[in-house]
């Protein structure tokens, strides 16, 4: 008959080994994986109206924003951001042209925008499905639009904004 102390020690050792293995799997597959929270919303430029003549944006101009925050523990590099339409077409935002690539550490934030009047025809052909970002490894992070964006798109119509 086996020694009960040896059986008990073997069972405890096996359970401890399983706990260590499961912790390693959790660390690699859950905690350390890239995480990016992506949102789409509308915004309004707030600047001194005297600056309107100097740049591409105007005071009180409406814009579409894509925002992302790194909610993981590892850095992530954003290579592309924009909107995917329901027909599968991507509208890639270039922002100021210096927005991407952008490396985000844990908890850091990224934002880019576009003038909705330049996207109006695309939205008439196919409505927006979701905002997205793509990282340097090619991983596609899918986000959601806020409720105000949907209302603005369906009721206020971005192409009706004053120029």
Q: Per residue in 1-52, pLDDT tens?
A: 678 787 777 767 776 766 666 666 655 555 678 899 999 998 877 777 776 6
Q: Residues 79-97: what's their mean pLDDT?
A: 87
Which residue has tokens 């339409």? 85
Q: Report the half-sphere exposure of 160 (CA within 13 A, side-chain side).
A: 6
Q: Could you give the CA distance from residue 83 to residue 129 in angstroms, rounded to a whole number?
A: 7
| pLDDT at 149 (0 to 100) | 83
Q: Which residues have CB under 8 Å from 71's CB, separation 6+? A: 35, 36, 37, 107
| pLDDT at 31 (0 to 100) | 61
Q: Could you give the CA distance from residue 1 to residue 102 in angstroms, rounded to a whole number?
A: 65
Asked if 110 contacts 78 with a C-beta cutoff of 8 angstroms, the reply is yes
Question: Which comes out higher in pLDDT, residue 7 or 111?
Answer: 111
Q: Could you give the CA distance from residue 82 to residue 145 in angstroms, rounded to a whole number?
A: 12
Query: Could you give the 3-state DSSP secondary structure of residue 22?
Result: helix
| pLDDT at 85 (0 to 100) | 93
Question: Which comes out higher in pLDDT, residue 156 or 106?
Answer: 106
Give the pLDDT band (50/70/90) at residue 54.
low
Asked if 128 contacts 142 with a C-beta cutoff of 8 angstroms, the reply is no
In this prediction the pTM is 0.72
DSSP 67-126: EEEE-SSS-EEEEEEEEEETTS-EEE--TTTTS-SEEE-TT-EEEEEE-GGGTHHHHHHS
DSSP 37-82: EEEEEEEE----GGGTTTSS--TT-EEEEEEEEE-SSS-EEEEEEE
Q: Could you give the CA distance from residue 48 to residue 51 in angstroms, rounded to a whole number?
A: 6
| pLDDT at 117 (0 to 100) | 78
Bridge partners (DSSP) of residue 44 are 62
């Amino acid at each position: 008959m086996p020694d009960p102390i040896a059986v008990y020690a073997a069972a405890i050792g096996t359970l401890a080994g399983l706990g260590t293995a499961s912790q390693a799997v959790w660390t690699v597959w859950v905690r350390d994986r890239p995480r990016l929270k992506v949102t789409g919303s509308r915004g309004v430029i707030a600047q001194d109206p005297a600056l309107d003549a100097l740049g591409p944006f105007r005071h009180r101009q409406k814009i579409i924003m894509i925002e992302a925050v790194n909610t993981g523990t590892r850095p992530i590099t954003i290579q592309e951001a924009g909107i995917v339409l329901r027909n599968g077409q991507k509208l890639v935002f270039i922002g100021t042209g210096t927005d991407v690539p952008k490396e985000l550490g844990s908890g850091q934030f990224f934002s880019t925008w576009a003038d909705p009047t330049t996207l109006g025809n695309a939205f008439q052909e196919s409505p927006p499905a979701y905002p997205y970002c793509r990282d340097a490894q090619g991983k596609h992070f899918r986000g959601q639009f806020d409720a105000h964006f949907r209302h603005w798109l369906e009721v206020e119509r971005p192409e009706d904004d004053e120029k």
